[in-house]
Structure 1
Amino acid sequence: MPAGACDCHVHVYGPPERFPFVESHRDRSPDGPASALEAMHESVGVERSVIVHPPGHGADLAVTIDAMEAGEREYRAIALVEPSISDGRFEELNGLGFCGVRYSPTLDGGALDKRAVLEMAERIKPLGWHMLLHFKGNAILNYADLLERMPIPFVLDHFGGVDPATGGTNQDSFKLVAEHIGDGNGWVKTSAIEKVSRQSYPFEDSVEIAAAFVSIAPDRVLWGTDWPHPGVGKQATDDVDLVSLIPMYATDDDIQQKILVHNPATLYGFG
């Protein structure tokens, strides 16, 4: 890994005796304490990381804040928040290294309130934050107008939800992501590649989509492991093996430097 490499999508879970899970996620949240995250990043050579606060802990951000303060790497974080959050609390979180808010139809009852998302975007705009959006499959097509109206930068995690099995780079969901990263406010993460893929390792169907994103907008592509791989369980691919996939779609040193170092530094404000 190059110096300053960033894993742009990880989560921290528990331990539950210190950081209880919300009831709805008690049986669905994996084991993923901060100490194990540190060990993983040490093994793959990552110096920076973006912790995406997991739904398993609701809007209580304590587990993410603790991981940022206890860890040995340079961190940023993405929050889950209630609409009632105060401006003062946003200022506190900004000082702690938070730099965005995440929304997902999957996590928010199956649909996003577009007006509420846009209102939140206006609230965090003065902080220089961005919006992290999580879609699955073609769900992103239902929010094309939201993306068009977004007043701040937005990041689409996990390939924007583009499913290799439903048309690859020829489908409308891919074209929508490509439009916004190529000539708009958008960024895309090649995170959770094993979730997105319909194949076994080395996930060539997802690698093909990642390569297409890179060819369109190499300055707007980010990389992340999605550690500890929620929803994958014990079948999760070793993170060292995930790192080895990067040269398959970022095929030269300059592109890898952009995806792993320069792009994260630009978006997340790493020094």
Structure 2
Amino acid sequence: MTDPLKGCLPPDPNPTNPLQAMPPLSCDAHCHVFGPASRFPYAPDRSYTPPDAPYEHLEALHDFLGFDRGVIVQASCHGTDNTAMLDAIARSNGRYKGVAIVDDGIDEAGLSTLDAGGVRAVRFNFVQHLGGRPDMKVFWRVLDRVAEMGWHVVLHLDAQDIVELQDVLAKIRVPFVIDHMGRVQAAKGVDQEPFRLLLALMRDNPLAWVKVCGAERVSVGKKPFDDAIPFAQALIEAAPERVLWGTDFPHPNISKDMPNDGGLVDLMFRFCPDEALRHRLLVANPARLYDFT
């Protein structure tokens, strides 16, 4: 586990102006708020400590890039204390929805509070550097409660998890979203087993969704991350009605080349040049999944 006292790099403070304008009602379907720690402390058992990236930073970035909507994903550094996320959603006047992290102790009242606060999903981290797989008994109990709420589940996986969790994925009975293209490694090519299985999952399972973001995590690690393009294009082609995209601002745990958020928008336009597909990716799909009205 990472030393929690070892801080993450801050995001690029100077995003470039995207070369093309975003369509109206575009949604950044994967972003975070961190702190400020003085008001929203980080979890004592966290695996990393990020620089503060509060609501005001996220709002300013979205105004600059042209996003009218966003989905704030609870990150592991805040643990199951979703207060910072809920505060940001409340301040946004309907602009943002949320994805929470919960544990087995969540009760009906707690879920109702999250739902009223704009939460539409729960997230489970499986990746090794964030602590590895959750308690699967808790996983299934929480998913039963998610089904009752009409929510979905977001899965943060390592590439090999796609191979090892085939039976688990087949048993999920609520919509599920796989983060960051399954964190496959571009250097291993589109024929690698995890990506072949991910493509098959997207073609065959109507409950499966995927975020075609996280290019900086898929790439060998150098801007502009174009080696991630074939993976994003293949996933969009496989299930254009079940793909999402987001910035991942403020990019926690980047150990390679820190992305520029304007550059990531330009990359998205390069791998999704078709206007109709881009409308699905940025507007229609997140509006449907996250209940934007």
- TM-score with structure 2 length normalisation? 0.87
Alpha carbons of structure 1 residues 139 and 26: separation in structure 2 relative to 1, 3 Å: closer
1:252 maps to what in 2? Answer: 274
1:198 counterpart = 2:220: yes
| 1:9–1:224 contact (8 Å) kept in structure 2 | yes
1:103 counterpart = 2:103: no
Secondary structure of the corresponding residue to residue 126 of structure 1? helix
State the Cα deviation string for residues 140-178 of structure 1 (Å, max 9, x = none): 211111100001000000111221122x22122112221
Deviation at 1:183, TM superposition (A): 2.1
Q: What does 1:63-212 align with in structure 2 at a 5 Å threshold?
A: 63-71=84-92, 74-106=95-127, 109-166=131-188, 168-184=189-205, 185-212=207-234
Q: What does 1:203-242 align with in structure 2 at a 5 Å threshold?
A: 203-232=225-254, 235-242=257-264
Cα distance in 2, alignment partners of residues 234 and 213 from structure 1 = 24
Cα distance in 1, alignment partners of residues 85 and 198 from structure 2 = 29
- Give unmatched runs, 5+ long, in structure 1: none
Deviation at 1:23, TM superposition (A): 2.4
Alpha carbons of structure 1 residues 235 and 79: separation in structure 2 relative to 1, 3 Å: same
State the Cα deviation string for residues 202-238 of structure 1 (Å, max 9, x = none): 2122111001111111111100110000012795222
1:3 maps to what in 2? Answer: 24
Moved more, 257-266 or 24-33: 24-33
Moved more, 107-116 or 245-254: 107-116
- TM-score with structure 1 length normalisation? 0.94
Deviation at 1:109, TM superposition (A): 3.1
Structure number with higher helix proportion:
1
- RMSD between aligned residues: 1.8
Deviation at 1:199, TM superposition (A): 4.0
Cα distance in 2, alignment partners of residues 242 and 73 from structure 1 = 25
Report the residue type matching 1:77 in the other structure: G
Which residue of 80, 90, 113 corresponds with 1:59? 80
State the Cα deviation string for residues 63-105 of structure 1 (Å, max 9, x = none): 0011111235611101111111001111111111101111112
| 2:47–2:131 contact (8 Å) kept in structure 1 | no
Report the residue type matching 2:65 in the other structure: V
| 1:221–1:263 contact (8 Å) kept in structure 2 | yes
Aligned residues with identical type, % of pairs: 37
Alpha carbons of structure 1 residues 73 and 97: separation in structure 2 relative to 1, 3 Å: closer
Cα distance in 2, alignment partners of residues 245 and 26 from structure 1 = 30
Cα distance in 2, alignment partners of residues 164 and 29 from structure 1 = 26
Secondary structure of the corresponding residue to residue 49 of structure 1? strand
Report the residue type matching 1:49 in the other structure: G
